[in-house]
Amino acid sequence: MSETLEEFKNSFYYGSRSDLSFKFLKNLPPEVAAEAIRQILEAVVTSFDTGEVTELHDLVIRWQVDAYRPAEGSQRKYVYDDAPFVLPGKPLKESRVGLMTSSGHFVSGDDPEPFGVKDMTQREAEDRIGEFLRETPTMSTIGRDIDAADLRLRHGGYDTRSALEDFNVTFPRDALLAARGAGRIAEVADPMYSFPGAASQGRLRKNVLPRWVEMLHGAAIDVLLLVPV
């Protein structure tokens, strides 16, 4: 079976070669995707001799930047002229800091069960990404002192391999606790929050965002750290 370059590069985007770290290849024209792949392979070979992989990582990151950047003149939906801004009401060292991520973490026994599916796998979440993008996201609350063994993760929109190895890659609970230990902040708010950010923007804004804002005020959070993934 022959395969065009177009089909090949697109197969990394939820296709036969699905790899969410390389799904960006779909955004590139075929000849540009080919050049990206050539450069990445060249950097792999260079690393054989140098033992240095930082350049290779930087190269992949640069291609991600290029591929996700909106095309010039493209219609953009969420562009705002105004920038909301309030100053913190108290010094950081006296502040209670909240954490909210779009990493898709949840607690064992408290699975949000998207579409009513019990124990949905990561693979199924990726396969159903189109449905997630039309749905209202569910917020999970996560106890600040949760054992890593009780933390679960499912998200159809990003490569979860690193976060499965170390949740702090996308859900920096330990770093926030270390900041508290160092006296930089007064307290880490309990619970913390996570939701799968691949969701309907309209439904998020209309159906849940007002409740989430109310919830944060109810938790007496002074400042909120956000980690999109």
Instruction: Map the footprint of other proteins across residues 74-133, applying CB under 8 A.
Output: 76, 78-88, 92, 95, 97-98, 100, 102, 133
* 159 contributes a contact to other proteins by CB under 8 A: yes
* 71 contributes a contact to other proteins by CB under 8 A: no
- CA–CA separation, 29 vs 227, rounded Å? 30
Q: How far is the CB of 181 from other proteins (least distance, A)?
A: 10
Q: Contact 136/204 with Cβ under 8 angstroms?
A: yes
Counting every residue, how long is the chain? 229
What backbone torsions phi and psi does residue 57 show, to the nearest 5 degrees?
A: -65, -45
Judged by CB under 8 A, the chain residues 179 through 218 that form the site for other proteins are 179, 184-185, 195-199, 201, 204-205, 209-210, 212-213, 216-217
Q: How far is the CB of 151 from other proteins (least distance, A)?
A: 15
Can you read off the two tokens belonging to residue 191?
């619970």
Beta strands at 96-101 and 223-227: parallel, antiparallel or unpaired: parallel
- CA–CA separation, 68 vs 9, rounded Å? 15
Judged by CB under 8 A, the chain residues 2 through 21 that form the site for other proteins are 20-21
Instruction: Report which DSSP code applies to 205.
Output: I
What backbone torsions phi and psi does residue 193 show, to the nearest 5 degrees?
A: -135, 145
Q: Contact with other proteins (CB under 8 A): which of 9, 24, 25, 151?
A: 24
Cis omega before residue 191 (within 30°)?
Answer: yes
Q: Contact with other proteins (CB under 8 A): which of 140, 170, 192, 194?
A: 170
Q: Contact with other proteins (CB under 8 A): which of 25, 125, 142, 221?
A: 221
Q: How far is the CB of 1 from other proteins (least distance, A)?
A: 30
Single out the segment in contact with other proteins by CB under 8 A; choices: 5-13, 29-37, 52-60, 142-150.
52-60
Judged by CB under 8 A, the chain residues 133 through 152 that form the site for other proteins are 133, 137
Q: What is the torsion angle, in degrees rounded to the nearest 10, for the CA atoms of residue 47, residue 53, residue 58 and residue 63?
A: 50
Nearer to other proteins, 1 or 188 (CB): 188
